[in-house]
Amino acid sequence: MLRIILIIVSILNCGWILKRIQKSQVKIEDSIFWILFSGFLIFISIFPGIVEYGAKLTGIASPVNFVYLAIIFILILKIFRLSIRISQLESKLQTLAQKYALDHIEKV
């Protein structure tokens, strides 16, 4: 039952992301991650043997715990990447504000 729910939610998620792309509300780069993430969830739902093998390989007692661990790991990587992007944008914003302030002072 959990596998069926996971497949349905992943397919709905892909459809929602594609709709956001059409409305130009999401950058293609970000949407690629979420589509691949949904594809990963569908893949492990269709082939549960891979999850069982991964759980045995890592020494995790339950395949469900392995799935949770994998999802948490992937999302932590995404959060780290987003925090790097935010830091870069804040730095660019600060530089732009400083340049604007200097240009504005010179004109006065």
- pLDDT tens digits along 6-44: 889 888 988 888 888 888 877 888 888 888 988 888 898
**Domain spans, the chain:** 30-107
How big is the chain, counted in residues? 108
pLDDT tens track for 43-60: 988 898 999 999 999 999
Neighbours of 33 (CB within 10 A): 15
